[in-house]
Amino acid sequence: TAAFSLCTLVALSHLHADPGASVFVELRIFKKRAWVEFSSPAGVDLRFSDGETVRRARYRFERATSDRRGVSVRSADPTKALHAESDRAPKSYRGEIRVYWTDSEAVLMNQVSENDYLSSVVGGEVGAHHVSAMQAQAIAARTLLYFLRLRGDSRPLSDIGGGDQVYRGDEFATPAARTAVVETGDLVLMRDIAPMYPLFLSTCGGVLVPPSRDLGLSATVEARDAPTLRSDTYAPGATNCRHSP
C-alpha cells in the first residue's frame, strides 16, 4: 500500500492535468508468449504500419509466423475493453495496443488514458481497501507520473517486474479504484516546488528503510528527491516482510 513517513517539506498540491494525456506501458507479461489473440465484442480495428486499416472479429499475433509490419489494435467499440488472450490467463486493456518489432523480438505497448492507467494501478497495488488507502495510492501513483513527465522522462513504463507501478489492465480498474482516482482529481505530492519521487511498496510489513539501500537510488537522488524515511516497527510481525522491506 502507499504508506509514507513524510518530512515537513512534502505537501499535497494541485497540478492541472492534461485531459488528453496518455500513458505508454510495455506489456512485458506477454514478452515470452508464442502468440497473443486480440478480440472485443464489437470486433477489433487494426492499423498496420504501411497504412492498411481493417476491422476483424479477432486478430491473432504469432511471433513465428506473423509478418513484420507493425500494427495498432483497438476495440471497435471504444466503450469496451480489448481482450488479449495467450497461453496464460487472459487480460483486458483500455486504449490501444501497438505491436512492433525490434531487431530480435516483438514488443507490445499499451497506450492508455491517464485515468484508466491510474485506476488499474490503484486496484493492482492495494486491491479493495478503505477509501482513504485507495485515495492515498491514487495520489502516489499520479505523483510518479508527473515526476517523470516534468523531468522529461519519456520512456514507457512497464506492467510487471517491480521497476514501475504494477499495471494489470482493465479488470483491476474496479469501480472503487476509479472513484479514488476521480475524487483525488489532480492532487500530487510536492517536495518544495516540484512533484516528489514517491516511494511506495505494496507488501511492506511495517519496516521502512533508506531508499538508497533497498531501491538502488544513489545518495544524491535520495537527498534531492526522496522524503525522509524512518524505521517504523509498530506493525505486528514486521520482520515478515524482509523480501520487500
Query: Three-state SS across 149-189?
Result: HHCCCCCCEECCCCCCCCCCCHHHCCHHHHHHHHHCCCEEE
Residue 38, pLDDT > 90, answer: yes
The pLDDT assigned to 206 comes to 46
| Model-wide pTM > 0.85 | no
Share of the chain above pLDDT 90, in %: 39
Reduced to 3 states, what is the DSSP secondary structure of residue 54?
strand
For the chain, give the mean pLDDT: 79
Per-residue pLDDT of 48-62, as tens digits, reads 999 999 999 999 988
Compute the distance between CA of residue 142 and CA of residue 182 in angstroms, rounded to an integer.
Answer: 11
Q: What are the residues facing 110 on neighbouring strands? A: 25, 97
Residue 16, pLDDT > 70, answer: no
pLDDT range class, residue 181, cuts 50, 70, 90: very high
Least confident residue range of 2-6, 23-27, 178-182: 2-6
Compute the distance between CA of residue 176 and CA of residue 128 in angstroms, rounded to an integer.
Answer: 7
Query: Cα torsion for 174, 180, 182, 187, to the nearest 10°?
Result: -140
Taken as a whole, the chain contains a residue count of 245
Mean pLDDT computed over 188-207: 71
Is the pLDDT higher at 207 or at 92?
92
Mean pLDDT computed over 111-138: 90
Is the pLDDT higher at 235 or at 219?
219
Q: Kindly report the CA angle at 157 between 156 and 159, in degrees rounded to 5?
A: 130
- CB 38 within 8 Å of CB 82: yes
- CB 75 within 8 Å of CB 31: no
Residue 238, pLDDT > 50, answer: no
Compute the distance between CA of residue 154 and CA of residue 150 in angstroms, rounded to an integer.
Answer: 10
For residue 155, how many other CB atoms are within 10 A of its CB? Answer: 9
Half-sphere exposure of 20 toward its Cβ, with a 13 Å CA cutoff?
0
Q: How far out from the chain centre does Cα 18 lie?
A: 18
Least confident residue range of 80-89, 93-102, 220-229: 220-229
Compute the distance between CA of residue 164 and CA of residue 153 in angstroms, rounded to an integer.
Answer: 13
Residue 96, pLDDT > 50, answer: yes
Mean pLDDT computed over 200-205: 56
Residue 222, pLDDT > 70, answer: no
